[in-house]
Amino acid sequence: MEILETYIKQIGRYPLLNAEQEKKLSEQIEKGSAQAVNQLVNSNLRLVISIARKFLCTSKNSIMDLIQEGNLGLMAAASKYHYSFNTRFSTYAYSWILQYMLRYVYNKTSMIALPHRKEELLRKVVAAKNEYKQNLNRELSV
């Protein structure tokens, strides 16, 4: 927990942004500014910690690992965010952060680690198999 406390102190130096500042940064990001992306990400690191703490109750993973994965989601969201979405960045980024954390947890809990796309394909196959069984009341055959 000492690492987490140090991390929280470090990110506390980045100020939170208001909607107008987020819009300006989004405009700069659209023009290719890496500094604007960094500022948007740094100002929203607290959001990742908030989501990771909620996640920790249901996960056996380290909170710092969850935060790291959430930060990757935050960076992805920052590079794709556009002010025309008519929403605050934190609202937009929440689903990205959650997706990256969920992917991490699912990959860690599986006995065999599969790439995300293969897991998605496997879920589709199982869903199709279940739908077939439900519609025809029998198992698939070769």
Residue 72 burial by CB count (10 A; 0-12/13-18/19+): exposed, middle or buried? Answer: middle
pTM of the model: 0.72
DSSP codes of every residue in the chain = -HHHHHHHHHHTTSPP--HHHHHHHHHHHHTT-HHHHHHHHHTTHHHHHHHHHHHHTT--S-HHHHHHHHHHHHHHHHHH--GGG-S-HHHHHHHHHHHHHHHHHHHHHSSS---HHHHHHHHHHHHHHHHHHHHHSS----
Structure tokens at 57: 């109750």
Quick one: 7 and 55 in the same domain? yes
Q: What is the pLDDT of residue 58?
A: 62
Q: What is the reported pLDDT for 111?
A: 65
From the number of C-beta atoms within 10 Å of its C-beta (0-12, 13-18, 19+), residue 22 rates as buried
> Do residues 116 and 72 both lie within one domain?
no
Q: 104 and 62 in one domain?
A: yes
* Gyration radius (Cα) of the chain, Å: 19
Taking only the tens of pLDDT, the chain with its 142 residues reads 788 899 999 999 999 999 999 999 999 999 999 999 999 999 999 999 999 988 776 666 788 999 999 999 999 999 999 888 889 999 999 999 999 999 988 877 766 767 888 888 988 988 888 888 888 888 888 7
Q: How far apart are CA 19 and CA 88, in angstroms?
A: 6
pLDDT, residue 18, reads 94
Integer Cα distance of 139 and 68 in angstroms: 43
Please tell me the predicted confidence (pLDDT) of residue 70: 95
- What total number of domains does the chain contain? 2
> Both tokens of residue 134?
């439900």
Read off the CATH number of the domain in which 15 is found: 1.20.120.1810
| pLDDT of the residue at 57 | 67
Q: What is the pLDDT of residue 116?
A: 82
Residue-range definition of the domain harbouring residue 42: 2-109
Q: Examine the domain organization and report whether 61 and 18 are in the same domain.
A: yes
